[in-house]
Homo-oligomer: A and B are copies of this chain.
Amino acid sequence: MDIASTARPQLKLRRIHLDTGRENVVVMARRSMALRPDVFRGFSRVELRSNSRTMLATLLLTEDGLVAPDEIGLAEPAFRRFAEPIGTPVTVTPAIAPNSLDAVRAKVQGRSLDDAQIRAIIDDISHYRYSDMEIAAFLISSASYMTSSELLSLSSAMAEAGTKLTWDRPMVVDKHCIGGIPGNRTSMVVVPIVAAHGLMIPKTSSRAITSPAGTADTMEVLARVDLGVDEMKEVVNACHGCLVWGGHVNLSPADDILISVERPLSLDTREQMVASIMSKKIAAGSTHLLIDLPVGPSAKLVTAMDAMRLRKLFEFVGDHFGIAVEVITTDGRQPIGNGIGPVLEAQDVMAVLSNDPAAPKDLREKSLRLAAHLLDYDPELRGGKGYVRARELLDSGAALKQMHKIIDAQGPSGCVADLGTLTADIPAARDGVVEAIDCLRLNRLARTAGAPIDKGAGIKAFKKIGDRVEQGEPLYRIYAFEESQFELAAAGAKADNGYVVGTRDATGNRRR
């Protein structure tokens, strides 16, 4: 008999409007009438039971009226997940830890896990049975090493924990960039090109977490992105492609949970990145996948060796799951496109699709290159003709037409697409040539200016690496709506604008 199975006094469910992020948190009065929370000393995890539901949660105690002695308060995510009305009688007992935590502890001690153990861990995590700290224990113990078979098990278990999409086509292509480069909104050019060709490309994207814009944030400037699975399928069937937010499609929900814990810890290991991306692609039913690895001094990958090791991991997992994976390295030394922030990036994308002469060439060229790789998968197309075909679809306006079709199919988002009304031009400190641009710095400044929350906030770059500049000439413009954020961003750019401008001295030798 365990403690939980004995009849216990019941508490009334109360809702507490406290956003505890991902974690289930409940609050009880220290002088609880129904049972003595002292019993829980040493157990911060409790199990809640109503007639129809059970849930594990982390317990906090309160001294005053936040909850009455005969109540139990459920913070936001716990209230939503428990999904019982206010006032429901709830029994609370110290939680029995999920069995899979034994496997986590084994991993912490340095042992490798088998497939069943990893599946059990992911199952418990995706059912919100782990505390954030328990998730951290799994992630951190996996960060120092993960075997090849652990990587496969993790990818597969995460893929199976959520929605699995199936398509009635033999070939479903996808692309993915590991991120970190400002702008770089290639998916929004690649998808219409590839879809216009007739290949199926059901693209789901993330919103920005720590960056000034994700593809989902940028696409939302043009169309609704929070589609469910059925709506997404309708769009793809009508247009061969889509550009939607992954959040409502529920592919690999365990991955979203893991990321929410990795982020505050700044954990970012190769294996976890690969398992995260591949689990989503397996669940999305992709058959052919192109991975974009930008390499540069302020990119996620700094050397070609870093990129090569990551490439091998993607290929290994892809081969195992029968997905044709191609991995290419790209120039990650500077932003791709001129805009940084949702509206500015959407403008870049539409300029490229419209063949606007002022459209950023780097975004056009990179998108064509990526689209070419995907089109080369098409057995109907003569070998090596992918690039020519991609350019043809772009130059002819077919890609733009396809984009409008996708936008119409996804529907209007209702977002305001105005640019920030407060602007500041950030000048070059001296004459010279742009030698380097700090991607992290520009991302941070654009975020400080209000992106992605303010869709029209951000940065528009006027100069790229290799461009000549004169002292006082603007390097970029900051856009913002809110005074305090505008001042912060402008002052931040004044202190460190993220650009390295080299000069030549009288002897013609370059110096910085």
- Partner-B contacts on A (CB < 8 A): 1-3, 6, 8-9, 16-21, 27, 30, 35-36, 38-39, 41-42, 44-45, 60-64, 66, 76, 97, 101, 105, 108-110, 131-134, 136-137, 140-141, 143-145, 209-210, 261, 263-267, 269, 448, 453, 482, 484-485, 487-488, 491-492, 494-496
Contact = CB atoms under 8 A, between A and B. Distances in A.
Nearest to A8: B484
A65 B209 CA distance: 27
A495 B144 contact: no
Given A21-B60, A136-B140, A144-B144, 18 more contacts: A3-B448, A8-B484, A17-B63, A18-B60, A20-B60, A36-B453, A39-B448, A41-B209, A42-B209, A101-B266, A105-B267, A109-B143, A132-B133, A134-B265, A136-B136, A137-B267, A140-B140, A141-B144
12 contacts: A2-B492, A6-B491, A17-B62, A18-B62, A19-B61, A35-B484, A41-B209, A63-B76, A105-B265, A105-B266, A133-B265, A136-B140
A352 to B, nearest CB: 29
In this complex, the member of A8, A143, A487, A494 whose beta carbon has the largest number of chain B beta carbons within 10 angstroms is A143
Contacts of A209: 41-42
Q: What 8 A-B pairs are tightest by C-beta distance, nearest first?
A: A1-B495, A17-B63, A17-B64, A140-B140, A110-B144, A19-B61, A42-B210, A38-B453
B137 A265 contact: yes
A64 B35 CA distance: 28
Contact of A496 (B1, B263, B485, B488): B1
A137 B134 contact: no
Contacts of A66: 16-18, 66
Nearest to A97: B266
A101 B42 CA distance: 27
A232 to B, nearest CB: 25
A21 B59 CA distance: 10
Contacts of A495: 1
A9 to B, nearest CB: 7
